[in-house]
Structure 1
Amino acid sequence: MAFDPVEEIKLFHGAINALDFQTIENYFADDATYVSNGVGSLAGREQIMTAFRKYFDDYPDQTAIDMLVEKVSPRAGRAVWSVRATHSGTGKPLIREGEETITFNEDGRVTHVQVTDYQAF
Structure 2
Amino acid sequence: MNGFLRVQDLSEHNPMNKRELIELAKHYVTLSNEHNLQRIKFLFVDDATYHSAYFGEFQGRAAILVMMADFFTRFPDAHWEVMEYHCIEGDGVEFAFVMTGIDASSGERVKRHGLERIYFNSDGKIKDITVDKPIT
Partner of 1:70: 86
Q: Give, as a single letter, the amino acid of the residue that structure 2 aligns with 1:18.
A: E
Matches of 2:31 and 2:77, distance apart in 1: 14
CA-CA distance at 1:73 after TM superposition: 3.1
Tell me whether 106-115 or 86-95 shows the greater mean CA deviation.
86-95
- Whichever structure has more helix as a proportion of its residues is 2
Listed one character per residue, the Cα deviations across residues 60-112 of structure 1 (whole Å, up to 9, x for unaligned) are 11121002211113621101100110012321111100111100011111000
CA-CA distance at 1:45 after TM superposition: 0.2
Structure 1 gaps, min length 5:
none
Aligned residues: 119
Q: Give, as a single letter, the amino acid of the residue that structure 2 aligns with 1:9.
A: A
Matches of 1:115 and 1:63, distance apart in 2: 15
Listed one character per residue, the Cα deviations across residues 10-68 of structure 1 (whole Å, up to 9, x for unaligned) are 01100000111111111111000000111111100000000000000010111210022
Q: What's the TM-score, normalizing by structure 1?
A: 0.92
Partner of 2:45: 29
Matches of 1:5 and 1:74, distance apart in 2: 11
> What percent identity do the matched residue pairs reach?
25
Larger radius of gyration: 2
CA-CA distance at 1:2 after TM superposition: 6.2
Structure 2 gaps, min length 5:
1-13
Matches of 2:90 and 2:30, distance apart in 1: 21
2:66 pairs with 1:50: yes
